Amino acid sequence: MISDRVVFVLGAGCSVPFGFPTGQQLRDKILEISKSDVIDHVGKSCPNILEELGVKDDALVRLQSNLRDSQINSIDRFLSLPKNREFLDIGKIAIASCLIPYEEHKKVLAPKCDNGENNWYQLLWNEIVNIESFEEFDNNLSIYFLTFNYDRSLEHFLTTVLKNTLTPTVDEIDQFLCKRIVHVHGQLGAYRLRGGSSNGRFYRTKLNVNNIRTAAEGIKVIHESSTFSDKPRVNELIESCNRLVFLGFGYSDANVRKLFSGVSRAPAKIIGSSMGLMKQEIDSARKKVAKALKTEESRIEITSDSDLRTCEYLRSHFEFA
């Protein structure tokens, strides 16, 4: 059992093992959306789908053209530019349409992920689970998650394992998820009608108009989430934790600034993975985090081993005691 207070900051790399695309891959998939794709999934023509969602039927084509020509590798960054705000609605619909099909129950629970690495959700769960009672487990658990991802795979994993080990009530699971997980950029609809919300949806739902609309309404791009209602809570979690752990995070300027805006105290220990980053990019990431937290760069322990995937990084660099 982890005894100190830990906050995990999750980037796209944490969801990739469960089949979800990276930011670059999501952009590329949006560029590939076609009329036939929509017909195959929901049985209606593209113009009718867009009409029901309140979007002009030429908006998708114009979004794809501008996104392609912008050469920006993130749909989120593209939509945040003032020039592209006209594409905000269709952009969110495109994001939701691309990501919903990746919500697969079996992949979240599989021992081995798509890329061959061990399931890091399983690794963490087996280190923290307390089999005495749900109440004891919840009261003693001191880990929290700040996720920049839209997907709800973490919620789905925790809900599944909690239901099959500690038998909490639906309300207890709902409160547990709300307390432990904050989606900085929103999510693909509230998980399992969380809190009775009318804009929620189940995991593994079909790609239809209602689910696309629900998921799109739950998404927030960078400029929309720069000031969000949960920011005071995010700051409190960061300021009160002993360890802050970056997992699968890209350390972009915008996300680092947003995460630490208004934070008055740096955690005692700050560590992070660096999958796919070059040495110069790792050095730059350390500087960004240190500057945003107004602390010494030497305190930021982002690993120089950029070959380590999430599960491997946790086993190599994270103390579970």
Model pLDDT for residues 198-212, shown as the tens digit of each residue? 557 888 777 788 888
Domain end position, chosen among 102, 134, 156: 102
Q: What are phi and psi of 227, to 5 degrees?
A: -125, 105
Cα–Cα distance for residue pair 228/226, rounded to 1 Å: 6
Q: Are residues 35 and 133 in the same domain?
A: no
Nearest to 191 by CA among 175, 207, 168, 169: 175
CATH number at residue 277: 3.40.50
Shared domain check, 243 and 98: no
pLDDT of residue 196: 46
Distance from C-alpha of 100 to C-alpha of 205, rounded to nearest angstrom: 8
Beta carbons within 10 angstroms of residue 225's beta carbon = 21
pLDDT at 144 over 80: yes
Q: Residues near 66 by Cβ (< 8 Å), separated by ≥ 6?
A: 78, 84, 87
Q: Say what the pLDDT of residue 223 is.
A: 61
291 and 154 in a common domain:
yes
Residue at 179 is within a domain: yes
pLDDT digits (tens, 9 = 90+) for 8-18: 999 999 999 99
Say what the pLDDT of residue 57 is.
65
User: 305 pLDDT exceeds 90?
Assistant: yes
Other beta carbons within 10 angstroms of residue 301's beta carbon come to 14
Q: What is the pLDDT of residues 88-103, one digit of tens each?
A: 999 999 999 899 999 9
Angle between helices 310-317 and 120-128 (to 10 degrees): 40
Condensed to tens digits (0 to 9), the pLDDT of residues 32-82 reads: 887 666 555 555 666 677 778 877 768 888 999 999 999 999 999 899 899
Phi, psi of 145 (to 5 degrees): -130, 130
Residue 59 sits in the same domain as residue 173: no
> Could you tell me the pTM of the whole model?
0.91
Domain of 38, in residue numbers: 23-102
- Work out the average pLDDT over 284-302: 97
